Amino acid sequence: MEKLSIFILCHNRPEDARQAVRSVLAQTDSAFTLTVSDNSSNDDVQRMMQTDFPEVPYVRRVPMLPALAHFNRCIDEAPDGYFCLFHDDDLMGPDFVAEVHASLQALPTTIALGCNAHIESFGQLQKKPSFLSSRNIETISSARDLAARYFSRAQSGIAPFPSYVYHKPQLGQLRFKLDGGKYSDVTWLLNLAMKGHIRWISKPLMTYRIHTSNDGATESRRDRLRFLAYIKKNRTMLGSEVLQDYRCSFIYKTFLKSADLSHPSRNRLAQAFIQHYRWARYARFDTYEALFKRALVKALGQP
């Protein structure tokens, strides 16, 4: 199997980037290439790379690119084969490359392979990993299945976005939409799930770090409504159940939690939808299926 191409995407976080580079270089399997892609607005990461890792391939993006254009540029520059768009504020476990190679050799039709992660929240390592599973490999059966894991109730978590490895030949011309907002990563993965098989390794192979400067730490109502429009557009593929779940938790509940009382008709609509939803979801088979799966995983004590 060809080497895995790893990109570390950097932006103004030299100390985090230093730790990320070290974690990649500490792999037990050397069948990978590493490129540091620096999209910073200052020279701090560049100076750190020149001092600490002069032997590591380094690319400075001048002029600085919009964040999603940076992803697309790395995809375009990746050689045919498998590649990873790793983030500068996360840590790669030492067996990441070895486990990815083994899984892809066993499952070569995979368009995107994610993995479980240890979660570090504001410097504190959490007890539970990013998702729970009773299998060594979770197969995402469809875009609808993936959307449910993100937005439906009683789910068991997701593979973090930076953990994914992609098969470039299967991507074709698919790229991130530059106007996608904060849900661009989810939209990207759903589009991939419409093209091929997505799978998750249940073993935690990275540390996903949550902190105040996470790119996804803030979002706007506009982002949520933009993604709602995406779900509506792809309702046939994603299902009406996901649409209902998303509307409840990510649209109407946020309306009611806001202190804005200037739209009483909108608030009444939100209250009516949530009241109906609370009863309607118990008539859905997928509600009980998700509850059963989560209870089973917890009973088996799988990480």
DSSP codes, 221-287: HHHHHHHHHHHHHTHHHH-HHHHHHHIIIIIIHHHHHS---S-HHHHHHHHHHHHHHHHHGGG-HHH
Say whether pLDDT at 155 is over 80: yes
> Average pLDDT, whole number, for the chain?
92
- Cα–Cα dist 274/255, whole Å: 11
Residue 279's pLDDT is 76
Instruction: Report whether 294 contacts 133 (CB < 8 A).
Output: no
Say whether pLDDT at 262 is over 70: no
Residue 220's pLDDT is 79
Residue 296's pLDDT is 75
Residue 215's pLDDT is 62
For residue 54, the SS3 value is coil
What confidence category does residue 287 fall into, taking pLDDT thresholds of 50, 70 and 90? confident
Point out the least confidently predicted range of 75-79, 98-102, 161-165, 299-303. 299-303
Say whether pLDDT at 198 is over 60: yes
Pick among 3.50.30.30, 3.90.550.10, 3.20.20.70, 3.30.70.890: CATH of 4-210: 3.90.550.10
Strand-strand pairing, 124-125 and 58-60: unpaired
Say whether pLDDT at 114 is over 80: yes
Residue with tokens 């073993």: 203
Element (H, E) at 137: strand 137-140
Q: Which amino acid is at 36?
A: V
| Domain-wise residue ranges, the chain | 4-210, 221-300
Say whether pLDDT at 200 is over 60: yes
33-41: average pLDDT? 99
What confidence category does residue 185 fall into, taking pLDDT thresholds of 50, 70 and 90? very high
181-208: average pLDDT? 97
- Cα–Cα dist 114/81, whole Å: 16
User: Percentage of residues in the chain with pLDDT exceeding 70?
Assistant: 95
254-271: average pLDDT? 72
Residue 149, sorted as left (phi over 0), alpha (psi -120 to 50) or beta, turns out to be alpha
Rounded to two decimals, what is the model's pTM?
0.90
Say whether pLDDT at 259 is over 60: no
